[in-house]
């Protein structure tokens, strides 16, 4: 289908009205998450006839979409999330961006969108970060969060895969997720709703999965919880993941367990990286099914000592409590456990260039 013949270089057309340096510095001093956007964005267009073309880094601006654009009606959309990290010497790096490129291609396939070649994905983030280098914060656990996404722009209300698609990357400076130290989250076990079913879109990173998670997330908030945890759709018994993060259990022997990829779990790059880093450190690691009963019994017996969630945005978040209509479980002391802290530190040290990158995961952008 894809008629891409020429490599996409994402040449930069610089903005003539960038944010003033003083205002940018003010934003970078306390960006929070997802509030502010840089001066540029990367874009490319795909049509069934011409493949990928019109690639460029252009000034950040609203999109003009026909009200009948397919994405607005049938949610034909996929996205990615990764970060650019500034190292102590000023250089800027991405963590395993090839894995994001491959996952975007897998997600696109599931949503009947065209695949963007891996080199084009890498060029888009390299060029955007080059154009907006001044927006990459330094210090603490700050970063420039990158959000590549693909939408069906064809103006057509019939139900079929769109013949016109747009790929974009926007960038948003992000502060330390845990400015005041690691704060455990509480999670609500969703029993009324599931996130994804086998054969559905759970293993694709698409906006529709997030839309479906918002109501259970509201229920979590009504029960005083920060996040929601989903179980499998068929038996409502097997732990899957949170709305946007994978989950890990730490056992009293120091081993770590995460639910095996079931077909409806999103394959997190943080999840995969922690399996490797924990194994490197000599820990036993396991991917297998974990039931809610095992979780309850494990906490009661002391076998499960820590629980944490992981994803690019928050890296590793300790889970202090699990709340459900059947009661409440408190993990360990309810704070961040030592294994959670150690794994988090190890991963951050690789990402920020403070620890040897033995797996070749870091890719220099600037």
β-strand pairing of 143-152 with 285-288? unpaired
Nearer to ligand PLP, 216 or 311 (CB): 311
Residues β-bridged to residue 52 = 46
Helices 269-280 and 97-110: crossing angle in degrees, nearest 10, is 140
Give the nearest distance from C-beta 157 to ligand PLP in angstroms.
28
Nearer to ligand PLP, 65 or 349 (CB): 349
Residues 331, 305: contact at Cβ < 8 Å? yes
Q: What residues line the site for ligand PLP (CB under 6 A)?
A: 81, 205, 241, 244-246, 266, 268-271, 311-312
Nearer to ligand PLP, 173 or 259 (CB): 259
**Which stretches does DSSP call E strand in 131-290?**
143-152, 164-174, 185-189, 227-231, 239-242, 246-251, 256-259, 285-288
Give the nearest distance from C-beta 343 to ligand PLP in angstroms.
13
Give the nearest distance from C-beta 169 to ligand PLP in angstroms.
16
Nearer to ligand PLP, 76 or 246 (CB): 246
Q: Is 33 exposed, middle or buried (0-12, 13-18, 19+ CB in 10 A)?
A: middle
Nearer to ligand PLP, 38 or 317 (CB): 317
| Spatial separation of the C-alpha atoms in residues 92 and 138, rounded to whole Å | 10
Instruction: Give the number of residues written for the chain.
Output: 366
Nearer to ligand PLP, 27 or 277 (CB): 277
Nearer to ligand PLP, 258 or 270 (CB): 270
Nearer to ligand PLP, 15 or 124 (CB): 124
Record the tokens describing residue 237, joined without a space.
Answer: 């018994």
| Spatial separation of the C-alpha atoms in residues 34 and 26, rounded to whole Å | 15
Q: Which of 348, 354, 350 is nearest to 363 (CA)?
A: 350
β-strand pairing of 246-251 with 256-259? antiparallel
């Amino acid at each position: 289908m894809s008629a891409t013949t020429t490599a996409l270089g994402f040449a930069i057309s610089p903005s003539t009205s960038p944010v003033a340096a003083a205002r940018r510095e003010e934003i970078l001093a306390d960006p929070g998450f997802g509030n502010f956007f840089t001066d540029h964005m990367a874009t490319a267009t795909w049509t069934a006839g011409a493949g990928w073309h019109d690639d460029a880094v252009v000034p950040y601006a609203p999109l003009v979409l026909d009200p009948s654009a397919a994405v607005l009606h049938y949610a034909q959309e996929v996205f990615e999330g990764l970060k650019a990290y500034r190292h102590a010497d000023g250089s800027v790096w991405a963590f395993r961006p090839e894995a994001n490129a491959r996952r975007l291609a897998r997600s696109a396939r599931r949503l009947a969108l065209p695949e963007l070649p891996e080199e084009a994905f890498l060029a888009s983030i390299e060029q955007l970060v080059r154009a907006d280098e001044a927006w990459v914060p330094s210090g603490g656990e700050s970063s420039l969060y990158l959000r590549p996404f693909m939408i069906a722009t064809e103006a057509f209300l019939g139900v079929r895969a769109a013949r016109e698609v747009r790929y974009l990357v926007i960038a948003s400076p992000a502060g330390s997720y845990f400015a005041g130290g690691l704060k455990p989250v509480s999670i609500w076990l969703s029993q009324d709703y599931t996130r994804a079913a086998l054969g559905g879109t759970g293993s694709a990173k698409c906006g529709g999965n997030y839309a479906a998670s918002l109501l259970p997330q509201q229920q979590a908030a009504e029960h005083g919880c920060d996040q929601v945890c989903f179980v499998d759709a068929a038996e409502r018994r097997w732990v899957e993941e949170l709305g946007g993060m994978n989950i890990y259990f730490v056992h009293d022997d120091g081993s770590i367990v995460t639910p095996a990829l079931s077909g409806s779990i999103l394959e997190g790059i943080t999840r995969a990286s922690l399996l490797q880093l924990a194994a490197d450190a000599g820990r036993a690691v396991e991917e297998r099914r974990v039931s809610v009963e095992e979780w309850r019994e494990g906490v009661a017996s002391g076998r499960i000592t820590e629980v944490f969630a992981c994803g690019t945005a928050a890296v590793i978040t300790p889970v202090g409590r699990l709340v459900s209509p059947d009661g409440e479980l408190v993990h360990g002391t309810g704070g961040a456990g030592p294994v959670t802290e150690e794994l988090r530190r190890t991963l951050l040290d690789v990402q920020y260039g403070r620890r040897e990158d033995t797996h070749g995961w870091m890719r220099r952008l600037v």
